[in-house]
Amino acid sequence: MIDVSIAQVAGFLLAAALITLAPGPDNLSVLSLGLSRGRRAGIGFGLGCALGCFTHTVWATLGVTALIAASDTAFAALKFAGAAYLVWLGAQALKSSGAKFTAEAGAAATQEAMRPYVMRGFVANAINPKVALFFLAFLPQFVDPARGNAAAQTALLGTLFAAQTVLIFGALGWYAGTVGGWLRGRPAVGRWLDRATGVLFIGLGIRLALAERG
């Protein structure tokens, strides 16, 4: 059994929620996709990001992240792979002609499946070295050496981080999709939302490509 205190977990969850809510690439992506492609797209991308967070937890627990932090080559390879993927997502959004809708109960409803967006969110988060280094620096601050088994504590805290990410990003995707449903009922607005999403992803990709480890 993993030995952690209530105060330790509560403090961690408060810090994790504040970090998750702070404007950043992941939640901006969830909001933009919810607005432009619907609830399932926003929620799916958020779930994928949460799964990516869990992957970074595993890496940090096993020491893989420390190896990435120590290697300029590994960091650069992940950075440019992640940047290229974000730019590709942006290009796909720019080429889109708008989300497709059908009338259901008098409201616009997206026909798109959630699964592709889960995969996109997962890949975008999992291969981002900046997120990996964040987990390497953040999780140990809440590990109590006096309670032993630091690796198990790290794994538990990282899992809790991923769980609260699902809840927060799920809520963001849901409400963004609700607002977007009204906006996308107007075809011209739907196309512009896709364009804005494409510009956002390309901008995030360029930002990641220029990022330093510090």
Pull the structure tokens for residue 193: 């939302």
What is the pLDDT at residue 62?
85
Cα–Cα distance measured from residue 50 to residue 163, given in angstroms and rounded to the nearest whole number: 7
Instruction: List the chain pLDDT tens, one digit each, 214 residues.
Output: 788 899 999 999 999 999 999 888 899 999 999 988 889 999 999 999 999 999 999 988 888 878 777 888 888 888 899 899 999 988 988 887 655 444 343 344 444 689 999 999 999 999 998 898 899 889 989 999 888 888 899 999 999 999 999 999 999 999 998 888 777 666 666 677 778 888 988 998 898 889 886 6
Residues 6+ apart with CB under 8 A from 84: 205
What is the pLDDT at residue 98?
59
Please give the C-alpha separations between residue 80 and each of 83, 118, 210, 211, in angstroms, as whole numbers. 5, 21, 9, 10
Pull the structure tokens for residue 185: 């009922």
> What are the phi and psi torsion angles at 127 (to 5°)?
-100, 15
Global confidence as pTM: 0.80
Residues 6+ apart with CB under 8 A from 25: 128, 204, 207, 208
Q: Strand ranges (DSSP E) for 83-152?
A: 101-104, 107-110
Q: Which amino acid does the sequence have at 167?
A: L
